[in-house]
């Protein structure tokens, strides 16, 4: 049914295509006394020049989007400083962290195929759920026209779980009519068919995007498939109003091979978790997998009442049907997710050198629905006949913020405040005594200063607060082992994560060929959340600190040579963290151990990417490039006894463009080889693996050498 709907939407787009309409791009620059090459970003909830934002922000280079594998969001973030993207099995399941936020998202209860601590948006519509978890089911990077990443804590603008922001746009930058049809084939059964069509529509545009991807998997029990489709309409009823409508649907299926012990990894990294010493039954026996089907309708509206006052608003409704074999149960989820926001911006030129802008906004997200837990049929590893749990899990996130910016010549000062509240409402229809609700709330401040040095360089300092509430699956199970608390549905150990980020940075251009961005920061965190015994339950860390530095730069030569690099260094320390053995057994209560002074688990100390690219002069679309990625070692456990080895992998890519019919038909052929030297490496790791029952499975091996080729045909009427 989903494919029929997407095909129908595509047909509507093709019928409207015509050859000669041209649209004028809207003016997105704000009042400025500087005349320079401006990069305008919108991930800060208003369009603003990158050099006037007192935050670390990266726009993913176009060349990264051009040569990505397109099966997993981790592949498009390699040149973003401070961002760690780790593929868990070579498919759509990935771990993403920004400056350490999101690092705990791996383990038995951390939900495969999801991220936490970072907010993701597609075309201004949240992929992140109210509790801070994000599934990647509807994020299409293959047809992304742009990706913006806020590397700083952006909680004052976006609220809960905003340790970083990843904002993806699917609206084609070209407003003329075209059709792109492509096929990708690659190692381990990677196969993709894709289609992107765009057409002018009055003084707007309409487009349709479809991708159908299959992957046999390189490890046992790691195959998957994904169908994604978007119909987008951009209309401009008047010169002051822009309305966008997006209909997005997807079906994402993937199998989960599970973690390996070091011995298993060394002997055969392609095997899945078959050992029943720790996991009973094993991942293979229960055919651990996920099958997610989603559809969403969303709209955004931007209206300028005058040259100084405007309003933007967004609303969406989404349905989700999720099925999974997980932890020896079959689980059926039926959920709806609705929400919206409104942001009023007003500006005033107070004098020739003084400018003021204020943003006032509110956000609302609500997700609710039923969860049915059945026994797992031992023969089919599918849904059994015994209903074990019948629950309702609801969550809402309400926030309101105000931000004021004053520009005094080259100096700008930004101050903001946000109130955020997240509420859980849980009902157990089998055991009503477990019904409960809880609200986490917080005021979040922000202060930033930015100074323009000439027209092309700026320095900034910022102070920002952050909040991240425990995710729904971290509050349940409700009580740790050995606890003597009344039956309830919220883990009593957990409180919201509170963070304060101090940041200094410099960014800009040296001539027109060198772009750079450097930042240093310190993040103080209280109530950080850690999985205990592979996520049997979650507990709270008293206090921790992260200190780091980042550098990103792109150097372009007139000869067609480009060097792009990103690098990050970070020191992490537990300042106050005591574990009580009473969490495991009441008889051991009072026997404690302190991890103060240890490094935080799951966070690499260093990462670096260098990409060297050559674009052949006078041959548009002809290029060759090599890329080196390095990740340092880190600890997989808070006790700092289990080390995840660091690694370096090399990739290479090349492409050509063949003009078949001048101005009308061209063919792009792109080939890429990842892990050229076939290194065996630990791509990801489960945090705090269970060592009490023997065996320490924690390693998720990285893809060996793999290649793919994409042939894309573009027709322009």
Chain segment 529-561, per-residue pLDDT in tens: 888 766 677 888 889 999 999 999 999 998 899
Per the CB < 8 A criterion, the answer to whether 566 and 609 are in contact is yes
Residue 289, H or E segment: strand 289-304
Instruction: Give the CA-trace dihedral at 572, 59, 248, 467, to 10 degrees.
Output: 30
Question: What digits encode the pLDDT tens for the residues 572-619?
Answer: 999 999 987 777 767 777 788 899 999 999 999 999 999 999 999 989
Give the 3-state secondary structure of residue 474. helix
Nearest partner of 517 among 531, 538, 503, 497, judged by Cα: 503
Q: What's residue 598's pLDDT?
A: 97
Q: Is the pLDDT confidence value at 73 over 80?
A: yes
Give the C-alpha separation, 608 to 81, whole Å: 8
Q: What's residue 316's pLDDT?
A: 98
CATH H-level, domain 2-715: superfamily: TonB-dependent receptor, beta-barrel domain (2.40.170.20)
Q: What residues pair up with 551 in beta bridges, in sequence order?
A: 518, 567
Give the C-alpha separation, 256 to 135, whole Å: 15
Mean pLDDT of the 422-445 span:
88
Tokens of 192: 């993709």
Q: Please give, one letter per residue, the 3-state secondary structure of 16-74.
A: CCCCCCCCCCCCCCCCCCCCCCCCEECCCCCCEEHHHCCCCEEECCHHHHHHCCCCCHH
Cα end-to-end distance, the chain, whole Å: 31
Nearest partner of 245 among 199, 196, 283, 299, judged by Cα: 299
Give the C-alpha separation, 356 to 401, whole Å: 17
Q: Is the pLDDT confidence value at 276 over 90?
A: no
Tokens of 637: 């456990």
Give the C-alpha separation, 15 to 21, whole Å: 14
- Greatest mean pLDDT among 48-62, 104-118, 528-542: 48-62
Residue 634, H or E segment: strand 634-635
**Mean of all residue pLDDT scores within the chain:** 89
Mean pLDDT of the 665-669 span:
97
Q: What percentage of residues in the chain have a pLDDT greater than 90?
A: 74
Give the 3-state secondary structure of residue 157. helix
Tokens of 78: 């390699």
Q: What's residue 455's pLDDT?
A: 87
Q: Is the pLDDT confidence value at 20 over 60?
A: no
Give the C-alpha separation, 273 to 660, whole Å: 50
Mean pLDDT of the 380-392 span:
92
**How would residue 106 be classed by pLDDT, with cut points 50, 70 and 90?**
confident
Mean pLDDT of the 265-286 span:
90
CA distances from 326 to 281, 290, 474 (A): 10, 8, 15
Pairing of strands 241-255, 224-238: antiparallel
Mean pLDDT of the 451-475 span:
90
Stretch among 369-383, 405-419, 423-437, 622-636 having the lowest mean pLDDT: 423-437
**How would residue 37 be classed by pLDDT, with cut points 50, 70 and 90?**
low
| Burial class for 111, CB neighbours closer than 10 Å (0-12, 13-18, 19+) | buried
Give the 3-state secondary structure of residue 306. coil
Tokens of 679: 């290194």
Stretch among 169-178, 431-440, 446-455, 550-559 having the lowest mean pLDDT: 431-440
CA 97 and chain centroid, separation: 8
Q: Is the pLDDT confidence value at 19 over 50?
A: no
Q: What residues pair up with 315 in beta bridges, in sequence order?
A: 299, 340
Stretch among 243-247, 454-458, 498-502, 644-648 having the lowest mean pLDDT: 454-458
Beta-carbon contacts of 214 under 8 Å, excluding residues fewer than 6 positions away, are: 189, 190, 191, 192, 224, 225
Per the CB < 8 A criterion, the answer to whether 53 and 44 are in contact is yes
Question: What digits encode the pLDDT tens for the residues 188-217?
Answer: 999 999 999 999 999 999 999 999 999 999
Tokens of 183: 């096929």
Give the 3-state secondary structure of residue 547. strand
Q: Is the pLDDT confidence value at 47 over 90?
A: no
**How would residue 32 be classed by pLDDT, with cut points 50, 70 and 90?**
very low
Stretch among 70-79, 305-314, 693-702 having the lowest mean pLDDT: 693-702
Q: What's residue 5's pLDDT?
A: 38
Q: What residues pair up with 392 in beta bridges, in sequence order?
A: 370, 427
Q: Is the pLDDT confidence value at 166 over 70?
A: yes
Question: What digits encode the pLDDT tens for the residues 255-272?
Answer: 999 999 999 999 999 999
Give the C-alpha separation, 355 to 310, whole Å: 16
Q: Please give, one letter per residue, the 3-state secondary structure of 194-225.
A: EEEEEEEECCEEEEEEEEEEEECCCCCCCCEE
Residue 67 φ then ψ, to 5°:
-110, 15
Q: What's residue 257's pLDDT?
A: 95
| Burial class for 433, CB neighbours closer than 10 Å (0-12, 13-18, 19+) | exposed
Q: What's residue 695's pLDDT?
A: 67
Nearest partner of 92 among 191, 265, 214, 195, judged by Cα: 214
Beta-carbon contacts of 661 under 8 Å, excluding residues fewer than 6 positions away, are: none
Nearest-Å Rg of the Cα atoms of the chain is: 25
Q: What's residue 588's pLDDT?
A: 72
Give the C-alpha separation, 104 to 97, whole Å: 9
Question: What digits encode the pLDDT tens for the residues 594-607?
Answer: 999 999 999 999 99
Per the CB < 8 A criterion, the answer to whether 230 and 209 are in contact is yes
Q: What's residue 480's pLDDT?
A: 59
- Give the up-direction half-sphere exposure of residue 676: CA atoms within 13 A in the CB hemisphere: 12
**How would residue 348 be classed by pLDDT, with cut points 50, 70 and 90?**
very high
Mean pLDDT of the 285-310 span:
96
Q: 631-666 in b/e burial notation, b at 16+ Cβ within 10 A?
A: bbebbbbbebebebebbebebbbbbebeeeeeeeeb
Apex CA 44: angle with CA 41 and CA 45, to 5°? 105
Q: What percentage of residues in the chain have a pLDDT greater than 70?
A: 91
Q: Where are the domains of the chain?
A: 2-715
Q: Is the pLDDT confidence value at 321 over 70?
A: yes
Q: What's residue 488's pLDDT?
A: 54
| Burial class for 558, CB neighbours closer than 10 Å (0-12, 13-18, 19+) | exposed
**How would residue 15 be classed by pLDDT, with cut points 50, 70 and 90?**
very low
Q: Is the pLDDT confidence value at 254 over 90?
A: yes
Tokens of 453: 């040095």
Q: What's residue 29's pLDDT?
A: 33
For 645-708, give the DSSP string: PPEEEEEEEEEEEEEEETTTEEEEEEEEEESTT----EEEE-SS---TTS----EEEPP-SEEE
Nearest partner of 158 among 359, 414, 451, judged by Cα: 359
Q: What's residue 493's pLDDT?
A: 75
Give the C-alpha separation, 406 to 408, whole Å: 6
């Amino acid at each position: 049914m989903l494919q029929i709907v997407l095909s129908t939407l595509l047909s509507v787009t093709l019928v409207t295509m015509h050859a000669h309409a041209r649209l004028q791009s809207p003016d997105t620059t704000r009042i400025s006394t500087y005349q320079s090459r401006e990069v305008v970003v919108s991930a800060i909830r208003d369009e603003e020049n990158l050099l006037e934002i007192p935050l670390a922000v990266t726009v993913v280079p176009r060349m990264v989007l051009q040569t990505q594998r397109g099966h997993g969001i981790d592949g498009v973030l390699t040149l973003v400083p401070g961002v760690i993207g780790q593929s868990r099995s070579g498919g759509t399941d990935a771990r993403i962290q920004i400056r350490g936020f999101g690092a705990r998202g791996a383990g038995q209860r951390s939900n495969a195929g999801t991220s936490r601590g970072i907010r993701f948006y597609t075309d201004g519509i949240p992929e992140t759920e109210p509790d801070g978890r994000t599934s990647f089911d509807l994020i299409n990077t293959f047809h992304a026209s742009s990706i913006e990443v806020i590397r700083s804590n952006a909680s004052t603008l976006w609220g809960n779980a905003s340790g970083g922001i990843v904002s993806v746009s699917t609206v084609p930058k070209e407003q003329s009519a075209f059709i792109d049809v492509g096929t990708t084939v690659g190692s381990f059964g990677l196969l993709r068919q894709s289609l992107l069509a765009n057409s002018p529509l009055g003084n707007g545009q309409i487009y349709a995007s479809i991708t159908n991807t299959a992957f046999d998997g390189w490890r046992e029990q790691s195959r998957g498939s994904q169908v994604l489709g978007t119909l987008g309409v951009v209309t401009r009823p008047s010169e002051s109003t822009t309305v966008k409508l997006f209909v997005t649907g997807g079906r994402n299926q993937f199998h989960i091979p599970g973690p390996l012990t070091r011995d298993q990894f060394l002997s055969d990294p392609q095997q899945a978790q078959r050992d029943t010493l720790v996991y009973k039954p094993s991942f293979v026996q229960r055919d651990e997998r996920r099958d997610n089907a989603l559809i969403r309708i969303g709209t955004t509206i931007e209206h300028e009442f005058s040259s100084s006052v405007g309003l933007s608003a967004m609303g969406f409704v989404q349905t989700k049907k999720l099925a999974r074999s997980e932890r020896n149960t079959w689980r059926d989820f039926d959920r709806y997710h609705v929400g919206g926001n409104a942001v009023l911006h007003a500006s005033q030129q107070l004098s020739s050198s003084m400018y003021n802008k204020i943003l006032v906004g509110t956000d609302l997200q609500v997700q609710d629905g039923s969860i049915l837990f059945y026994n797992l049929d031992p023969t089919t590893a599918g849904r059994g006949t015994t209903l074990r749990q019948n629950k309702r899990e609801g969550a809402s996130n309400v926030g309101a913020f105000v931000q004021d910016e004053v520009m005094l010549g080259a100096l700008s000062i930004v101050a903001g405040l946000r109130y955020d509240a997240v509420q859980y409402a849980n009902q157990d229809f089998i055991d009503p005594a477990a019904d409960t609700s809880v609200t986490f709330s917080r005021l979040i401040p922000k202060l930033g200063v930015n100074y323009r040095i000439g027209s092309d360089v700026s320095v900034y300092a910022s102070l920002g607060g952050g909040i991240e509430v425990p995710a729904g699956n971290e509050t349940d199970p409700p009580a740790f082992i050995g606890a003597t608390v009344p039956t309830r549905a919220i883990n009593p150990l957990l409180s919201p994560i509170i963070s304060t980020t101090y940041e200094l940075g410099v960014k800009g251009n040296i001539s027109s060929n060198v772009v750079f961005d450097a930042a240093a920061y310190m993040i103080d965190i209280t109530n950080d959340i850690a999985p205990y015994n592979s996520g049997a339950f979650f507990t709270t860390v008293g206090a921790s600190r992260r200190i780091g530095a980042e550098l990103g730069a792109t150097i372009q030569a007139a000869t067609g040579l480009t060097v792009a690099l990103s690098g990050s260094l970070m020191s992490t320390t537990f300042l106050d963290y005591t574990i009580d053995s009473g969490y495991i057994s009441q008889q051991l209560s009072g026997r404690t151990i302190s991890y103060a002074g240890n490094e935080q688990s799951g966070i690499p100390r260093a990462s670096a990417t260098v990409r060297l690219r050559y674009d052949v002069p006078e041959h548009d679309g002809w290029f060759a490039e090599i890329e080196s990625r390095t990740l340092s070692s880190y600890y997989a456990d808070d006790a700092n006894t289990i080390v995840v080895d660091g690694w370096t992998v090399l990739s290479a890519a090349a492409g050509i463009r063949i003009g078949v019919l001048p101005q009308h038909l061209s063919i792009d052929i792109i080939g890429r080889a990842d892990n050229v030297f076939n290194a065996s490496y630990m791509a990801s790791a489960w945090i705090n693996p269970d060592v009490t029952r023997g065996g320490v499975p924690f390693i998720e091996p990285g893809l060996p050498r793999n290649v793919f080729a994409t042939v894309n045909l573009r027709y322009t009427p």
